[in-house]
Amino acid sequence: MNEQFQKLIERAEQLIGRIESILPQPLAAPADWNASIAWRYRRRSSGHGVLEPVKHVAAMSLDSLKEIDVQKEKIERNTRQFVEGKPANNVLLTGARGTGKSSLIRACLQAYAPQGLRLIEVDKAELTDLPDIVEVVSQRPEKFIVFSDDLSFDEGEPGYKALKSILDGSIAASTPNVLIYATSNRRHLLPEYMKDNLSYTHTEDGEVHPGEVIEEKISLSERFGLWVSFYPFSQNEYLAIVAQWLSSFGVDKAAIEAARPEALVWALERGSRSGRVAYQFARDYAGRATA
C-alpha cells in the first residue's frame, strides 16, 4: 500500500511539474547584462516573457544624421541629462516617415552606451508587460531607454492603458533609471474621427472646450514630457542627405554630383524625399559604382 501511495505521489509531482512549465512565469533578469547594449522583449507562445540580447546592434552615429539638427539637439540633450543622473523626460518623436526618428534614438544609444546607457525594444502588443520590465531593471546601475517604434493604438488596445499608467499616473513612483522613447506617425497615437468633433462644446462667448472623447485621445501624448516633431525634407535637404550617405560609402565628389539627377528620379518614383529613401538610393548607387 505504501509503495502504491509513493508511486501516486511521484506521478502527481510529475504532473504538477508539467503544468508549472506551461504556466506564465515572472520575468527573469538576463543571466549576463553585458551580453549587449540593446535588448528585445519577447513573449513566448507559452506566455513567458524574456529579454533577448541584440547580438548585432545597427551602427549609427549622431554625425551621420543630417538636416535634423534641431531635433537632434533636443533628443541628445535629454539623453545626456538622463545618463548623467539629471532630470529628463520621456520622449515622443512624431512626424513624417523615414525622417530619422528611430535612427536618432539608435545614434544616441551608440553615443552614450560607454556611459551606461542601454535600450530595451518593446513591441506595442507587449506593452502590457511594461511594469514587469521596469521592475526587473529598476535596481540595475545602468540607464535604460524602453523603446517602442511606430507606436499607434486602435480603440480598446490593452497596451494603451499600460503605457499611460507607466508614463504618469500610476500610484508607484517613476523609476529613475528608466525612460520611455517612442516614435509615431500620429501626434495623438489614437485614430481620430470626424464624429469626435461633435463632443466639443461652445460657451456663449465662443470659447471652445474639448469633450471627453478628445481629452482621452490626447491624454496619452501629453504624458510624454518632450515632444519632438519631424517634417518632410525639401529637395535640397534630400540631396544633402544623399551626398552624405554616398560619401560614407566611399563615393568620390564627382560621382556624388553626377548622382543628383538619379537621386531625384529615385525619390519621384517612391513619392517621398525622406532620409530612408536617400539611404536606399545611396546603397543602390554605391553598389553599382563600385561593381
State which residues form the domain around 217: 36-228
44 and 88 belong to one structural domain: yes
pLDDT of 173 above 60 = no
| Structure-block grid coordinates of residue 249 | 560609402
**283 and 259 share a domain?**
yes
Q: How far apart are CA 47 and CA 284, in angstroms?
A: 42
Same domain, 159 and 209: yes
Residues 94 and 154 in one domain: yes
Single out the residue of 143, 145, 137, 73 nearest to residue 114, CA to CA. Answer: 143
Q: What is the pLDDT of residue 213?
A: 45
Q: For the segment 211-229, what is each residue's pLDDT rounded down to a tens digit? A: 444 455 566 677 888 888 8
Q: Which residue would you say has higher pLDDT here, 148 or 18? A: 148
On whether both 110 and 137 belong to a single domain, the answer is yes
Distances 175 to 91, 143, 217, 250 between C-alpha atoms, Å: 15, 10, 25, 44
Cα–Cα distance for residue pair 68/253, rounded to 1 Å: 23
Pairing relationship of beta strands 226-230 and 91-95 according to DSSP bridges: parallel
State mean pLDDT over 247-259: 91
Indicate whether 134 belongs to any domain.
yes
Same domain, 169 and 270: no
What is the arithmetic mean of pLDDT over 16-39?
A: 72
What domain count does the chain have? Answer: 2
pLDDT of residue 211: 46
Q: CA geometry: angle at 170 spanning 88 and 226, to 5°? A: 25
Tell me the CATH number at 218. 3.40.50.300
The confidence band for 72, taking pLDDT boundaries of 50, 70 and 90, is: very high
pLDDT at 100: 87
CA distance 39 to 211: 40
How many residues can be counted in the chain? 291
In a shared domain, residues 193 and 148: yes
The answer to whether residue 20 sits within a structural domain is no
Cα(218)–Cα(228) distance, integer angstroms? 16
**Number of Cβ atoms within 10 Å of the Cβ of 255:** 14
For residues 46 and 157, state if they share a domain: yes
As a whole number of angstroms, the distance between CA 44 and CA 233 comes to: 40
pLDDT of residue 176: 87
Does 4 fall in a domain? Answer: no
Q: Distances in Å between the alpha carbon of 263 and those of 9, 26, 101, 158? A: 73, 51, 22, 43
Strand partners, 91: 181, 226
b vs e for 208-221, b when ≥16 Cβ sit within 10 Å of the residue's Cβ? eeeeebbebbebbb
pLDDT at 285 over 50: yes
d(CA 13, CA 156): 41
Q: Are residues 270 and 197 in the same domain?
A: no
Predicted TM-score (pTM) of the model is 0.78
In a shared domain, residues 193 and 237: no
Q: Are residues 216 and 176 in the same domain?
A: yes
Q: Is the pLDDT of residue 11 over 50?
A: yes
What pLDDT shows up at residue 187? 61
Cell of 209: 472646450
Indicate whether 188 and 61 sit together in one domain: yes
